[in-house]
């Protein structure tokens, strides 16, 4: 049996090479060699039958299917997705039996090799074009979801199929990680924000666990942490190095550092994938800072942190982060941009990760300072978001229908003139007014998770096709 794994937690693709006895065997044999070569080139691990397990290491019968399924089951902890390649027509029963017997319940990528116009004779004609339709029909009949390549057929060693595999790997990771995600909730939502309420039970039904902690426990841990603790001193320097800000109030920077140490310990102890924070008003009134900078640093370090205890928003941030392996942010759908119906301002006050910004500074909170004073509100991150394409995602638990739903949008941050405060950017979205109507009519909150990447198709494939979430993809 052939198994090659990578260092990324030893994750791998299960690979099924289809064959049909009345079609040229050598095409399937060559296809197996090609897919192994491609996966090695891309740095992905694989689990595949060897040539000693079945004839040429392919699947074309029930006995082949049992051997392949057994191999997959033995490596189920590593397999995040299955790639089916059809170098010729393939055998739909052999493929479907493998999938059903292995029962891995992971995403499946369906490939079919292209025929060449000058090789349509008996020796080289593949008919995988037709075979893919046959396999997909049977997968549909069995209720097995699958992912299609961008074009119906493509050579295994083509750049097009390599791009399909790279996108598919991201789909697999979203599906895998959401099934066992763990998020923290620090404090209760601000009393004024019923918009960010969510159903913990619905999330748990989908494999997402929430670990809550009262804000008083965080304050208690901070009070027991000595000022001169090495971890605190380390965090003070990290915070000072995080932005080009030159003036740091000593009391504020010490409080931010202690908060960072306590939250980090809690995240590590509970093996959390991210957290949502009660960022106002209690921490301002009772501790004398805003936690924005600390949350920004966590998000920049790929531990997404959402403000205002927005757990649903946090989940959106996490999904976008997994899809890109880059930081994500949470902002408000906040303002119109003049009279342009397709442009708006995304804003927060703010805790955006620093990689989002064209420029950045750490200040007193521009809103809270008016009520609590600058001395009690240090730690906000301000700047303008980079001019880049973006993907916006809003997740909700809908108690009325007992489901998770989502709004997925692609747009772009522009360089339109805007003089304001906080973390902000002007975003252009095609048919924005229709989108806003859908957000209002469907009960979506005023927050949205943001990634500076165009990944809508990847996110949609994972959430709709494999997780069964009710998702509306509002793309260009």
Residues 221 and 331 in one domain: yes
Q: What is the pLDDT of residue 315?
A: 98
Residue 449's DSSP bridge partners are: 330, 393
Q: How confident is the model over 417-473, as pLDDT tens digits?
A: 999 999 999 999 999 999 999 999 999 999 999 999 999 999 999 999 999 999 999
The last residue of one of the domains, among 178, 200, 229, is 178
Residues 218 and 169 in one domain: no
CA distances from 47 to 56, 59, 84, 92, 468 (A): 15, 14, 12, 20, 27
From the number of C-beta atoms within 10 Å of its C-beta (0-12, 13-18, 19+), residue 142 rates as: exposed
Structure tokens of 100?
């059903």
pLDDT at residue 4 above 80?
Answer: no
pLDDT at residue 3 above 50?
Answer: no
Residues 141 and 207 in one domain: no
Residues 312 and 411 in one domain: yes
Residues 109 and 237 in one domain: no
Residues 144 and 204 in one domain: no
Structure tokens of 180?
């066992």
Residues 233 and 338 in one domain: yes
What does the pLDDT average to over 312-322? 98
Average pLDDT, the chain: 95
263, 298 Cβ separation under 8 angstroms: yes
Q: How confident is the model over 386-397, as pLDDT tens digits?
A: 999 999 999 999
Residues 411 and 442 in one domain: yes
Q: How confident is the model over 244-302, as pLDDT tens digits?
A: 988 899 999 999 999 999 999 999 999 999 999 999 999 999 999 999 999 999 999 99
Of residues 346, 327, 326, 475, the one with CA closest to residue 411: 475
Three-state secondary-structure class, residue 273? coil
354, 360 Cβ separation under 8 angstroms: yes
The last residue of one of the domains, among 128, 146, 178, is 178
Residues 114 and 28 in one domain: yes
Q: How confident is the model over 179-232, as pLDDT tens digits?
A: 999 999 999 999 999 999 999 999 999 999 999 999 999 999 999 999 999 999
Structure tokens of 385?
């978001």
Domain count, the chain: 2
Q: How far is CA 454 from the centre of its chain?
A: 12
Band of residue 329 on the pLDDT scale cut at 50, 70, 90: very high
Residue 110's DSSP bridge partners are: 84, 148
Residues 172 and 189 in one domain: no
**pTM to 2 decimals?**
0.95
- Rounded to the nearest 10 degrees, what angle do helices 250-269 and 215-223 cross at? 120
pLDDT at residue 365 above 90?
Answer: yes
CATH assignment at residue 244 = 3.40.275.10
The last residue of one of the domains, among 163, 178, 193, is 178
Give the residue numbers spanning the domain of 354.
182-474
pLDDT at residue 98 above 70?
Answer: yes
Beta strands 329-337 and 447-451: pairing type? antiparallel
Residues 56 and 152 in one domain: yes
Name the CA dihedral angle for 87, 92, 96, 101, rounded to a multiple of 10 degrees.
Answer: -90
Three-state secondary-structure class, residue 317? helix
Residues 82 and 213 in one domain: no
Q: What is the pLDDT of residue 9?
A: 55
CATH assignment at residue 54 = 3.40.50.10940
Structure tokens of 292?
């924005």
């Amino acid at each position: 049996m052939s198994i090659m794994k990578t260092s990324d937690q030893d994750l791998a693709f299960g690979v099924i090479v289809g064959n049909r006895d009345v079609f040229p065997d050598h095409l399937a044999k060559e296809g197996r060699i090609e897919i192994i070569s491609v996966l090695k080139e891309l740095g992905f691990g694989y689990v595949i039958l060897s040539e000693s397990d079945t004839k040429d290491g392919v699947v074309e019968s029930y006995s082949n299917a049992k051997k392949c399924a057994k191999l997959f089951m033995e490596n189920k902890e590593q397999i995040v997705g299955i790639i089916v390649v059809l170098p010729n027509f393939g055998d739909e029963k052999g493929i479907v039996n493998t999938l059903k017997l292995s029962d891995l319940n992971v995403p499946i990528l369906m490939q079919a090799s292209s025929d060449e116009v000058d090789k349509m004779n008996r020796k080289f004609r593949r008919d995988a074009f037709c075979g893919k339709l046959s396999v997909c029909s049977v997968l549909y009949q069995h209720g097995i979801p699958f992912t299609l390549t961008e074009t119906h057929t493509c050579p295994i060693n083509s750049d097009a199929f390599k791009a399909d595999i790279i996108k598919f790997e991201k789909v697999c990771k979203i599906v895998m990680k959401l099934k066992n995600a763990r998020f923290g909730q620090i404090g209760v939502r601000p009393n004024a924000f019923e918009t960010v309420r969510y159903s913990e039970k619905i999330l748990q039904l989908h494999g997402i666990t929430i670990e809550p902690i009262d804000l008083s426990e965080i304050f208690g841990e901070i009070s027991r942490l000595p000022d001169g603790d090495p971890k605190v001193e380390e965090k003070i320097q990290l915070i000072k190095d995080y932005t080009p800000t030159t003036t740091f109030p000593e009391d504020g920077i010490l409080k931010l550092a202690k908060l960072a140490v306590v939250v980090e310990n809690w995240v590590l102890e509970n093996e959390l994938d991210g957290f949502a924070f009660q960022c106002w008003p209690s921490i301002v009134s009772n501790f004398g800072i805003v936690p924005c900078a600390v949350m920004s640093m966590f998000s920049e370090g790929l531990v997404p942190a959402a403000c205002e205890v927005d757990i649903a928003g946090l989940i959106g941030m996490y999904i976008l982060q997994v899809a890109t392996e880059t930081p994500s942010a949470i902002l408000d759908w906040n303002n119109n941009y003049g009279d342009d119906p397709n442009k708006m301002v995304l804003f927060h006050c703010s805790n955006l990760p620093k990689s989002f910004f064209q420029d950045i500074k750490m200040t007193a909170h521009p809103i809270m300072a008016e009520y609590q004073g600058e001395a009690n509100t240090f730690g906000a991150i301000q700047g303008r978001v980079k001019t880049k394409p973006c993907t916006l995602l809003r997740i909700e638990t809908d108690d009325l229908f007992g489901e998770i739903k989502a709004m997925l949008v692609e747009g772009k941050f522009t360089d339109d003139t805007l003089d304001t405060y906080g973390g902000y950017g002007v975003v252009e979205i095609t048919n924005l007014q229709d989108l806003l109507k859908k957000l209002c009519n469907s009960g979506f909150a005023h927050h949205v998770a943001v990634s500076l990447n165009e990944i809508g198709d990847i996110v949609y494939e994972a959430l709709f096709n494999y997780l069964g979430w009710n998702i509306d993809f509002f793309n260009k």
